[in-house]
Structure 1
Amino acid sequence: MRRTHPASPPPVIVTGTGRCGSTMVSEMLARHPDVLSVSELFTAVHVPLIPGEVSGARFWELLGALDPGIAELVRHRVAVREHHYPFDRGRFSPETGVPAIGLLTLPHLTDDPDALYDELAAEVPHWTPAPAETQYRRLFAHLAARLGRRVIVERSGGSLRMLGTLLRIFPDARVVHLHRDGPDTALSMSRHPAFALGAQTLEMRRRPRGETELPADLAAFLPGRFTAAALGHPIPLARYGRLWSVLLYEAERELAALPADRLLALSYRDLVADPARHLTDLARFGGFDPDPAWLREAAGSVRPGRTGTAGTLPERQRRELHRSCLLGQAVLHRLGHVA
């Protein structure tokens, strides 16, 4: 059966390094009656873009394939705040596995993610073959029509690492670059298990070629050897600072190439200090109404006191962390994205 698809408006992509306030922004946007806040889809899905045409059935398979790192965290029952799937009452479990779109994205849109999953499972496999880019746009348009929303905002934690791919999927997208002080971001990353995986993976890439044996703290994160106990290994904060810097460095070209009318740089520090003002700017950039009732509710959800946290570290640790963030700070300076 051939299915017709509503037109997909250009989405807004909220991007950042992760631990920069994007989850907070996504949750605030979800409160707006006009906004479809698509959260963490491209964090969870293992293959965001493949060449050629993709059938609806194959596309549905891709939406179920968890990123291997996230799959390991789920399998070992590592608590992650962004994993909203209701394991206590849902049909999926860590042992049986949970589909990627069901783990993070659907629970952000509905209180009954299994029911919405079933609706999509009955719909998406019948879609006619099309490039993966078209299938993703169909998915967003379908969800927007199903939930009565007209503005689509996609936000995935740490999505700077895939910004080039996202802009190939959505070449007309407007982009919000949410950025935060490097040392503060790195310190926040150090408290999140998914970024421990990222920091250790980056450190493995930096090891000398031909090294036959990894240190125990890195070897514990190798595929097939990871367990929750690996998170007990102390990881130097500077590794998180390097991760923050590399994410910015690798996305600099895409950010710099965006025209001014398609890019909004938003500072986490400014957002926390004056949420109503900066949410108004975000709404106008995204093409939806900065409704006063929404502004009051969204601004009231902001938790202050999260800036300057790295300044409380011991001096030596603070200096090492600052050095590891110099590359990322230089990128922000070149882009002009400095509060």
Structure 2
Amino acid sequence: GSPSGPLAAGRHRMRDGDLPALLMATLPHLSDDPDTAFDALTEAMLARPKAPIAEHYRALFTWLATKLPREQPARVAVERSGGTLRIVARLLETFPEARFLHLVRDGRNTAISMSRHIGFRMALIGFQLLEFLGLDPYEDDSRDEVDDLPDELVHLLPENFSAEAFRSYDLSPALCGHYWSGEVQRGVELLSALPADRLLTMRYEDILLSPRDSIARIGTFLFDDAAAPVGIDPHWLTRATALVGRGRSAWQSLPPAERRELEDACAPGFAALAAHGLHWSDDHEKNRLAMG
């Protein structure tokens, strides 16, 4: 028969071609019935009067913390989205009391992951189209500069776009490395102005090597209030540690020329991190990292 309840609502949204990111990426981790939760959240947020965006975000976090079934009351709201280094200034302005966990991965492996990630691939392809055309072809129909586009990018214009063209486009890890370096340079500079009790910078590789100790350190930073310390829930620590997997990308497996290009592209980002005491060694096999 026809689906009903949350399944029907979810399929209806997908047919409309407009599946909200909050429903797709966030609520499934917080609720067994994300569609119903999304509808209730939408109703609550639409009922709010006009207010600064920061107030709406705080209301959103409060709703998620208090209205969804939980084993115990929420103590803090932790938001994690990829690529947020580029909006650090806005986050600092919007949430002046927030603590920031800066999780840094070896830029060379990050670049390889970015080159394979659908979202980052689309974003970086968009940046290249914008650079060649001087406009976003997905927002503007003008094609005055289209003759300057390389053939492989012509196939990624909205009027020519296909899944095959997108998948086959050769997005260089070095290009992703340049992007990573730029984001790290800008983000680290802004974060460095924070007091020590509001910033924790950790390496992804350290979490892989010592997951329980690393998660405990993160938990202490996020949850402990100096005015009213409560400690870390050992059950939470065990569950969180069990979620830590294994790293996949290995930049040393690239061909020599491509590897050198990637290393050069990531060098400015590594220099910015080194200036703040964070270093990577190249002993990949033992994965030994040196903290300066």
- TM class by smaller structure: 0.7 to 0.9
Q: Structure 1 CA distance, aligned partners of 2:240 and 2:172?
A: 35
Q: Structure 2 CA distance, aligned partners of 1:185 and 1:268?
A: 10
Higher relative contact order at CA 8 Å, sep ≥6: structure 1 or structure 2?
A: 1
Q: Paired residue for 2:90, among 157, 165, 177?
A: 165
Q: Structure 1 CA distance, aligned partners of 2:99 and 2:209?
A: 24
Q: Structure 2 CA distance, aligned partners of 1:336 and 1:225?
A: 47
Q: Paired residue for 2:54, among 133, 148, 151?
A: 133
**1:190 counterpart = 2:115:** yes
Q: Structure 2 CA distance, aligned partners of 1:172 and 1:220?
A: 46
Unaligned runs of 5+ in 1: 1-84
Aligned to 1:33: none
- Structure 1 letter corresponding to 2:100: V
Report the secondary structure of 2:59's partner residue.
helix
**1:304 counterpart = 2:225:** no
After superposition, the CA RMSD in angstroms is 2.6
- Structure 1 letter corresponding to 2:81: S
> How many pairs are equivalent?
254
- Structure 1 letter corresponding to 2:176: Y
Aligned to 1:323: 264
Q: CA deviation at 1:172?
A: 0.9
Q: Paired residue for 1:101, among 4, 22, 37?
A: 22
- TM-score w.r.t. the length of structure 2 is 0.78
Unaligned runs of 5+ in 2: 1-5, 135-144, 225-230, 280-290
CA contact (8 A) 1:91 1:114 kept: no
CA contact (8 A) 2:104 2:204 kept: yes
Q: CA deviation at 1:253?
A: 2.9
Aligned to 2:185: 249
Q: Structure 2 CA distance, aligned partners of 1:286 and 1:276?
A: 15
Larger strand proportion of the pair:
1
Give deviations 1:213-253, integer Å, cap 9, x for gaps. Answer: 21133334445654322232112221111121122123233
Q: CA deviation at 1:267?
A: 0.4
Q: Structure 2 CA distance, aligned partners of 1:226 and 1:87?
A: 30
Equivalent residue runs for 1:17-166 within 5 Å: 90-93=11-14, 95-147=16-68, 148-166=73-91
CA contact (8 A) 1:202 1:243 kept: no
Give deviations 1:246-273, integer Å, cap 9, x for gaps. Answer: 2212323321211111100010000110
Q: Structure 2 CA distance, aligned partners of 1:163 and 1:314?
A: 35
**1:235 counterpart = 2:171:** yes
CA contact (8 A) 2:75 2:223 kept: no
Aligned to 1:265: 201
Going from structure 1 to structure 2, the CA distance change for 1:298 and 1:335 (only over 3 Å counts) comes to same
Give deviations 1:81-116, integer Å, cap 9, x for gaps. Answer: xxxx98995441154311232222222211211101
CA contact (8 A) 1:248 1:331 kept: yes
- TM-score w.r.t. the length of structure 1 is 0.68
Going from structure 1 to structure 2, the CA distance change for 1:205 and 1:252 (only over 3 Å counts) comes to farther
Report the secondary structure of 2:102's partner residue.
strand
